[in-house]
Structure 1
Amino acid sequence: MFAGLKPLLCRLPTPNPYIEDKFHTLSAFQAFERDLQRFQPTLRYNELLPLAYKAFAASLSLPEPSEQEARDFGSQIGTWPAFPDTVPALKALKKHYKLVMLSNIDNDSIAPTIAGPLAGVEFDAVFTAQDIGSYKPDLKNFKYLIEGVKKLAVKKEEILHTAQSLTHDCVPAKTMGLSSTWIDRENQEEKRRELADKLNFTWRFKSMGEMAEAVDKEFEEMK
């Protein structure tokens, strides 16, 4: 996503905190994204992103991007790279668990994501915001997950919700009474302290790779 914002960032005077700080930039952009998800929950993600792109440009006092530029940004979803450890970790976890994706991405974008950045990973089910009609952290998405995995003979208490986002995933997971794992890739300890009373994740790892190694070790010791 950060790479897709560079056409805007390159128009800013330098130095500036946006071109130099990826975390700062994505946090600022995602504030517009969250507002749109909250107030237009049925809008497809690839249609929502161009609106967020334009709103972000306006917040930077930049001229409004062309419709084509905004659409191009929204069409890049399926090319966003996965973290280097994600695919190997998911393949390793698949040896022990069913894999179910609960995504805020739309159906048109999820297919190239699975075929591209996540190629080689076998998912047992994929539930998208478009299917559900709302975006995480709406509890409807998690209720949909709980009901959906019943078709895989998975009970609520058997779900281990694993995610990086505290606000979109770990907080609603606690509200719904789900066991969860937090993948803390960005060392968000300050954010964790802010949300401490809303969190109850069971495990915490720095990466999916670290989680997969811990799971493999646990199953090996159970033999």
Structure 2
Amino acid sequence: MTKGLPEFKYLTFDVVGTLIDFEGGLKTSLIEIGKQAGVEVDGEEALTLYRQARYAEDAELFPDDLVRVYLAIAPELGLPAEKHFGEKLRDDARQWKAFPDSAAALARLAERYKLVAMTNARRWAFEYFSKELGDPFYRGFTADDTGTEKPDPAFFHQVFAFVESEGASKDDILHVAQSQYHDIGISRELGMTNCWIQRRHAQKGYGGTIEPAEFTRPDYHFTSMAELAAAAEEAAHA
């Protein structure tokens, strides 16, 4: 039986795609570059090309890798394959916005749980994302801290070690994420309770996130962070 929401001590979060609208940020930047070059960019096509390029064998840490990704996809989009545009795509991550419900929902959840970020982004980018979200995190783990990226189990095991150092265990964690590939599937394999925030519920496909080999039915399923925060408050008063 799935644990009730009041039973958890920690909520761990994927950040990029769950709390921060990276797809919107990418599309905005690519469309702006297109306007400068006199090219109309289709946002969903750009996300498909991004997804294919992002998971190449020579990929670098995110979002630094956006320079390489841009140079790979620019010809397909009819955009100029110039490094400075790739650097713009990378640097624009500093201005990526949170989903409209993220900051308020996190503030509500922080009243009941310790919030822990688990992001494949580098530390420099995470600091901007955290500020955009209102700096709600009790602790943050980045690709720089772990030396790896989800869905590598090693990333999760470092978080397990952290909560164990505080006298808790992975059973005290609810892992919250939108990516079936990076988070929901592997968290299930590792015996965690998970919560899928289906950000693309009104859209087809997986957008900028790699498609999982198979779909994992989550323990909890919401289409927004606001729904999770409301459910946690309702469960606490039940």
Equivalent position of 2:102 in the other structure: 86
Task: Tell me which of 112, 118, 136 is aligned to 2:133.
Answer: 118
What are the residue-to-residue correspondences of 1:172-191 with 2, within 5 Å? 172-187=186-201
Q: Do the aligned residues in 2 keep the contact of 1:87 with 1:118 (CA within 8 Å)?
A: yes
Tell me the SS of whatever aligns to 2:171: helix
Task: Tell me which of 91, 95, 115 is aligned to 1:75.
Answer: 91
**Pairing 1:219–2:236 present:** yes
Q: Give the structure-1-normalised TM-score.
A: 0.82
Task: Tell me which of 53, 58, 74 is aligned to 2:75.
Answer: 58
C-alpha distance in structure 1 between counterparts of 2:68 and 2:55, whole Å: 12
Equivalent position of 1:27 in the other structure: 48
Question: 5+ unaligned residues in a row in structure 2: which ranges?
Answer: 1-25
**Pairing 1:143–2:157 present:** yes
State the number of aligned residues.
208
Q: Which amino acid aligns with 2:72?
A: A
Tell me which protein shows more helix as a share of its residues: 1
Report the CA distance between 1:191 and its aligned residue: 6.1
C-alpha distance in structure 2 between counterparts of 1:102 and 1:202, whole Å: 19
Task: Tell me which of 17, 23, 28 is aligned to 1:3.
Answer: 28
C-alpha distance in structure 2 between counterparts of 1:195 and 1:33, whole Å: 15
Q: Do the aligned residues in 2 keep the contact of 1:53 with 1:73 (CA within 8 Å)?
A: yes
Question: Could you tell which deviates more after superposition, 180-189 or 209-218?
Answer: 180-189
Higher relative contact order (CA 8 A, sep 6+): 2
RMSD over aligned Cα atoms: 2.5
C-alpha distance in structure 2 between counterparts of 1:202 and 1:209, whole Å: 17
Q: For residues 127 and 57 of structure 1, do their structure 2 counterparts lie closer, same or farther at Cα, with a shift above 3 Å needed? A: same
Equivalent position of 2:63 in the other structure: 46
Tell me the SS of whatever aligns to 1:161: strand
C-alpha distance in structure 1 between counterparts of 2:168 and 2:48, whole Å: 35
Report the CA distance between 1:92 and its aligned residue: 0.8
Question: 5+ unaligned residues in a row in structure 1: which ranges?
Answer: none
Q: Which amino acid aligns with 2:92?
A: Q
C-alpha distance in structure 1 between counterparts of 2:58 and 2:150, whole Å: 13
Q: For residues 101 and 31 of structure 1, do their structure 2 counterparts lie closer, same or farther at Cα, with a shift above 3 Å needed? A: same
Q: For residues 23 and 160 of structure 1, do their structure 2 counterparts lie closer, same or farther at Cα, with a shift above 3 Å needed? A: farther
Report the CA distance between 1:24 and its aligned residue: 4.1
Tell me the SS of whatever aligns to 1:84: coil
C-alpha distance in structure 2 between counterparts of 1:212 and 1:28, whole Å: 34
Report the CA distance between 1:156 and its aligned residue: 0.8
C-alpha distance in structure 1 between counterparts of 2:118 and 2:237, whole Å: 28
Q: For residues 76 and 154 of structure 1, do their structure 2 counterparts lie closer, same or farther at Cα, with a shift above 3 Å needed? A: farther
Q: For residues 196 and 70 of structure 1, do their structure 2 counterparts lie closer, same or farther at Cα, with a shift above 3 Å needed? A: closer
C-alpha distance in structure 2 between counterparts of 1:3 and 1:176, whole Å: 36
Q: Give the structure-2-normalised TM-score.
A: 0.77
Tell me the SS of whatever aligns to 2:114: coil
Q: For residues 150 and 112 of structure 1, do their structure 2 counterparts lie closer, same or farther at Cα, with a shift above 3 Å needed? A: same
